Amino acid sequence: MIKMLKMNNKNNPGSFGSSRGLSQKIKKDKKRKSSSTRWIGRQLNDPYVLETQKRGYKSRAAFKLLQIDEKYKFLAPGLSVVDLGCAPGGWLQIASQKVSSIVGKEKVVGVDLLPTEDIPGSISIIGDISDRIIGEKLIQIIGTKPNIIMSDMAANTTGHRQTDHIRTTFLLETALDFAIENLKKNGVFLAKCFKGGAEIEALSLMRKHFSKVNHIKPDASRKESVEGYVIAIGFKG
């Protein structure tokens, strides 16, 4: 059985008080598309965007990982981590801090099709995780099978919900295949997962290879978004 868990803000390092009163109106511009106006409005009125800038995180997604880890406490000093689809680096920052990864003895490695700025305590490479050579390179860099494999990968949206769901599910399946092949025993797999039906086969495979599988939607995921995450704990091999 796969459980859906709701985040609780109390004592959560990924939370920072109320967003009440945080509301800025956007001036109308006939030249600007309505979708662009809505996006600008969300950015200006999103407390996570503001707090991301304040804390120096590479992306607001850092709060999603913070909140998920607050619930499951799977990131701990000394563990090794592989981050799939790591750009722009928000998850690398949090993982490096949580596992106490330091320069010269990096325990965190990431890969993305796009370049990622250097983040102390981590190493990132450019590549496609579906390429076996890239996968082997990640394991070679970290020097061991990782304790944690995580993926915040999502396909570029087309505006067609089912198409976007299928494309993102393919990335989930790609990340899961890599995890099953490379995770250390009792390891953890965390990945973005859009609900829509296509993900059922991947979830079934997780139940086969892991002791526990849960859905989770951190508070930092926008309420109107179909975005969610799945965490699989206790890799059995």
CA–CA separation, 56 and 40 (whole Å): 20
Residue carrying the six token digits 């494999």:
149
3-state secondary structure of 3: strand
In angstroms, the first-to-last Cα distance of the chain is: 19
H-helix segments, the chain? 34-45, 47-55, 61-72, 90-98, 132-142, 161-182, 200-209
Active site residues: 192
Q: Are the beta carbons of 178 and 156 closer than 8 angstroms?
A: no
